[in-house]
Amino acid sequence: MALAVGNLTTAFHEDAARLRCAIVMLAAERYRLEHGKWPETIAELVPQFLDSVPLDPFDGQPLRWRRREGGMVVYSIGNDLADDGGQVHPRATNLQSPGDTGYRLWDVAERRLAARTN
């Protein structure tokens, strides 16, 4: 029974992290459309695009935002509680999978290209 409750809690946190990252992702795209560039930090999205910086449900810290080749990444540290620098696996369904939880945002020039593995 305890294992099932633990898995349910982890799944809840994963879903909350993905939802919060998606909210930031949409706000960042709106910012990019208005300013012609990505924000340097999530805090730049407050208060015009977000009421506040969403917190990572796994550690209670603000979600992470990082420049990556070809765009940005917004992420949570995920279930392993280790910051892997934004190595997100958006299609991972295994709650024990390594890496961070979040989404890549591609620069306009990088969109509609063949998928990358990183």
- What's the token pair of residue 83? 């910051």
For the chain, the straight-line distance linking the first and the last C-alpha, in angstroms and rounded, comes to 37
59-94 pLDDT per residue, tens = 999 999 999 999 999 999 998 899 999 998 756 555
The pLDDT confidence band at residue 106, using thresholds 50, 70 and 90, is very high
Please tell me the predicted confidence (pLDDT) of residue 99: 83
> For residue 23, how many other CB atoms are within 10 A of its CB?
16
User: What confidence score (pLDDT) does residue 111 get?
Assistant: 86
Closest CA to 14 of 68, 92, 74: 92
pTM of the model: 0.84
For 29-50, what is the mean pLDDT? 97
- Would you kindly state where each structural domain of the chain is located, as residue ranges? 2-110
Please report the pLDDT score of residue 97 as a whole number. 63
Q: Is 101 exposed, middle or buried (0-12, 13-18, 19+ CB in 10 A)?
A: buried
If phi > 0 it is left, if psi is from -120 to 50 it is alpha, else beta; for residue 66 that is beta
Tell whether the model's pLDDT for residue 13 goes beyond 70: yes
